[in-house]
A and B are shown apart, each in its own frame.
Chain A
């Protein structure tokens, strides 16, 4: 399956190879004016050739950076490759970033050339032009609305191609000569990571790193030139770049660019990708859509859906994993596939998906199992920009909802005493651009990359990530305490909106819980439970019982994991108000600020630990109009069943 690519150590060399070997096969498809237009590898290589000539004519030389701003478009990918062919470094920027956010990368890398998709992106670049003195050339692909622009920096992509054609006639071998100068150790691309604190960092990746990782994962999954991928996530994100640039260049598969962000669903159905990536939030949105549409379906369909989804959740995963399942059950699954799963996969555009990945954040086990149970081979992977994505991948047949699988070929893992995960891999980044301090902090002398993630390898050799290392603590008896890991487990229950765990430096784990007003409200309505408002609902005994069930399920789950068994939740209380970013309890990206919450509700935390049954709270709240008011409530504290160390020992 895998062809001999030795000696092809850069992306432009791979491109010329594919143009030779499979020139007639599709490299890219783009839906334009309602019709899928195909670019073969030959056409794509020709475009890159002309474009590279054009760029060279405009003065672009080895080591120069080329900013790429826009959505997934064949021409922008051609620009990436043209820059690489000339020994330059493409820097993809997020197309939905505000103008001000684009300024830093451009200043940092002293970018002189940029390719922008359309008027929207050009406007942003022009806005920051006064602060980015290096920027001299902006090429735009889509001419619509650009007629009135007279800035000397601007030039249409089409005109650049025109210039390229002219200079190509003068020097037809330019591309080959330039490409031959490239080597695997050259920088292939630079990706800016969104820094939560301080400025973003430019992650420098070499051709060798990207090609090696892309190939390792492609070999593992047996990807080949008959595969098809839909490129719908931002190209500035390393993952999209791997799936829609590095991997097609390694395997020769075809990527498809949807018409617009709104048409992704229907474009996906038309294309029928065989290889698919989606972050958990996308998968969740799809499932919600399906559920809503099922609610509106007729009775018979609803019955079939419920019945067969029940069958699927029992045995679907096992069948996908190739485990043995009884004949009767297999027959039921086959019927279900005929009536429900097959049509459902078709609606989702996943009929042909052989391999699907999810990553980026923790995925709820129910969500994960749903897709697997209807026969979609969804798997988790672990990686980051600094590692050229692929560090761990769940292998076929050994998929566990809570791990990210064993290390991919070539990757070494080890842990510090603080349980921080260290990685050594051929895919590691070269450096942070112009930031030696950060580079040394992240990558030590022996070449180990410090991920900042805490985790461990389980008995099957699968990596399990539990939390950020700076958040991991210890109980008084030395037990590992990973707050986010437990919070996530609890948050996967639809009735729980937020959870905050306490335990670092204490004798046991206790929790604050925020109920989900909508989900619990619906539940209360069905139970004929009347309530006056959020605070009232949150204080109901029935609701406490409901949440206690969730907490105890989490405890039972934790008891299965030897490392974390002692960090079960002993007591909890339900907060009288929703945690809010305006009150400084959440970050703007909705992450709980444990420290701030512990400080603000010290009295409640004390009540969790001193054994009181209830506690009175008066707290200041900020309303959206800026005024503030006082809210007071009596909160109950509830015990949850947790197995003690002795009981755990007995159970084991």
Chain B
């Protein structure tokens, strides 16, 4: 493998000392980490470690009680999810969150929502500007469809698709927003080996082709160690490890957290 088209660059997102609690339950406690441009960053940890909460903090679904998030130099105490999307963050969900009754094409088009500028009336009457805009968005969507090789299900309602394909459609919708930072919450859960391999290839292709920075949560260690540049390990809401895959493999507290330790 030759050099990457988009070498890992500066830090674009830094999370400092973030704590999040739901009543008495501490989901995150003083977690700090950063994400560099163009890298694939994994967040791992046992069940309930706070991985999804971390993702939700980054894209503004949860508002931490403490700490700051800095995205491309702008500092947020808590981020609004609309703001996050406008700043180029897109995500997929652990439980697929697609519109089941809508076709794949329409689902992916919803990812272009923020990029549509015509008003309701223009769109309803399909006036010149709206028509041009729709054609432009359709083209962008078709490029994503081509990229993820889902032409054959373009017009199929999402609810009728098998799980693995639904996951791919969700990725397509996130990609349609042309994100600079892509958050993937367990993109490979519930998949068989072949589907996982496909998904890995797509994540790497996205990173390579568009230079998209990827933050992903994943349980499959093989996958994580294979495709990530750096790995963050959480356990009970605390950071217990951070580094490249080799460092994480050798990290004693990570091994303890995963294998258990004698008391």
Contacts and interface: CB of A to CB of B under 8 A. Distances in A.
A260 B142 contact: no
B145 interface: yes
B5 interface: yes
Interface stretch (B18-26, B72-80, B124-132, B150-158): B150-158
B205 A145 contact: yes
A150 B139 CA distance: 31
B2 A34 contact: no
A617 B1 CA distance: 59
B143 interface: yes
Contact of B152 (A35, A144, A147, A263): A263
A34 B152 contact: no
Interface string A143-175: 011011010000000000000000000000000
Given A148-B1, A148-B2, A33 B155 contact: no
A34 B142 contact: yes
B131 to A, nearest CB: 15
Given A259-B151, A263-B152, A33 B142 contact: yes
A148 B5 CA distance: 8
A150 B146 contact: no
Contacts of B1: 148
A344 B149 CA distance: 29
A33 B5 contact: no
B151 A34 contact: yes
A262 interface: yes
Contacts of B145: 33-34
A262 B154 contact: no
Interface string B115-153: 000000000000000000000001100110111010110
Contact of B154 (A34, A147, A148): A34
Given A147-B5, A148-B1, A33 B152 contact: no
A33 B146 contact: yes
Interface in A128-146: 144-145
A199 interface: no
Interface in B1-59: 1-2, 5
A34 B151 CA distance: 8
Interface string A21-61: 00000000000011100000000000000000000000000
A33 B139 contact: yes
A35 B139 CA distance: 9
A150 B5 CA distance: 13
A266 interface: yes
A266 B154 CA distance: 11
A138 to B, nearest CB: 18
Contacts of B2: 148, 150
A263 B5 contact: no
Interface string B59-75: 00000000000000000
Contacts of B147: 144
Interface residues of A, number: 13
Contacts of B149: 260
A262 B143 CA distance: 17
A145 B207 CA distance: 12
A554 B155 CA distance: 46
Interface in B199-240: 205, 208-209
B152 A262 contact: yes
A262 B151 contact: yes
A256 to B, nearest CB: 15
A34 B155 CA distance: 11
A141 to B, nearest CB: 14
Contacts of A34: 138, 142, 145, 151, 154
Contacts of A145: 205
Contacts of A150: 2
Contacts of A259: 151-152
Contacts of A260: 149, 151-152
A298 B142 CA distance: 35
Interface string A611-649: 000000000000000000000000000000000000000
Contacts of B152: 259-260, 262-263, 266
Most buried by B among A33, A144, A148, A262: A33
Nearest to A260: B151
A178 to B, nearest CB: 36
Most buried by A among B146, B149, B152: B152
A2 B76 CA distance: 75
A335 to B, nearest CB: 31
A178 B138 CA distance: 43
Interface in A232-262: 259-260, 262
Contacts of B5: 147-148
Nearest to A35: B142
Contacts of B155: 266
A33 B205 contact: no
Nearest to A34: B142
A424 to B, nearest CB: 45
Nearest to A265: B152
B129 to A, nearest CB: 21
A262 B142 CA distance: 16
B70 to A, nearest CB: 32
16 contacts: A33-B139, A33-B142, A33-B146, A34-B138, A34-B145, A34-B154, A144-B209, A147-B5, A148-B1, A150-B2, A259-B151, A259-B152, A260-B152, A263-B152, A266-B152, A266-B155
Which 5 A-B pairs rank lowest in CB-CB distance, beginning with the nearest?
A: A262-B152, A33-B142, A34-B142, A148-B2, A263-B152
Given A34-B145, A148-B1, 7 more contacts: A34-B138, A35-B142, A144-B209, A148-B2, A260-B151, A266-B152, A266-B155
Interface of A: 33-35, 144-145, 147-148, 150, 259-260, 262-263, 266
